Amino acid sequence: MSFASRNSAQAYARVGVETGVNAASPHQLILMLFDGALLAIAKADASMRQGAIIEKSQAISRATDIISSGLRASLDFSGSDDLAPRLASLYDYMVLRLIHANVKNDTGALHEVNGLLTEIRGAWEEIGDDPAVVSANKAIA
């Protein structure tokens, strides 16, 4: 693929992502954050196996940014339950494990974080079918 074609493809992909973000509900945006973090971890894993140190570090940095600046930042601490603080602690743990994976080239740590994110994403996706959640998302949007 030529440089011009690659730039065109990247611009097209960026527009597609921006369109998806603009049309997404708050619930769907969180799912997109999970997907982005999982994709970054998969890229870090592949890069680690190939010995591509820079790409591995960039992918892990992207995953940690999504977890800390996206998922953790989206938590609502105003509720009376302890879910938000527990998730915040879990997200902090994931970031630490990703840093460890980066420094030690530990694919096991990547797989651990991947499993945790996949499990939480699945739960988040399930509650998206709850009519109360859909109604709340419409009120926010």
Q: Per residue in 23-44, pLDDT tens?
A: 678 889 999 999 999 999 999 9
Q: Per residue in 115-129, pLDDT tens?
A: 999 999 999 999 876
Give the Cβ contact number of residue 63 at 10 Å. Answer: 28
Tally of domains within the chain? 1
Which structural domain range is residue 70 located in? 25-140
Residues sharing a CB contact under 8 Å with residue 73, sequence separation 6 or more, in sequence order: none
Task: Specify the pLDDT at position 80.
Answer: 84
Asked if residue 68 is part of any domain, the answer here is: yes
Asked if residue 17 is part of any domain, the answer here is: no
Task: Specify the pLDDT at position 115.
Answer: 98
Task: Specify the pLDDT at position 46.
Answer: 97
Asked if residue 133 is part of any domain, the answer here is: yes
Rounded Cα distance, 109 and 27, in Å = 27
Q: What is the pTM of this model?
A: 0.78
Asked if residue 6 is part of any domain, the answer here is: no
Rg of the chain over all Cα atoms, to the nearest angstrom = 17
CATH, residue 96 = 1.20.120.340
Asked if residue 16 is part of any domain, the answer here is: no
Cβ contact 104:112 at 8 Å: no
Residue 103 has pLDDT above 70, yes or no: yes
Cβ contact 121:37 at 8 Å: no
Task: Specify the pLDDT at position 13.
Answer: 44
Joined tokens for residue 131: 């009519």
Joined tokens for residue 119: 């499990």
Residue 16 has pLDDT above 90, yes or no: no
Asked if residue 9 is part of any domain, the answer here is: no
Average pLDDT, the chain: 83
Asked if residue 73 is part of any domain, the answer here is: yes
Q: Per residue in 47-63, pLDDT tens?
A: 999 999 999 999 999 99
Asked if residue 13 is part of any domain, the answer here is: no
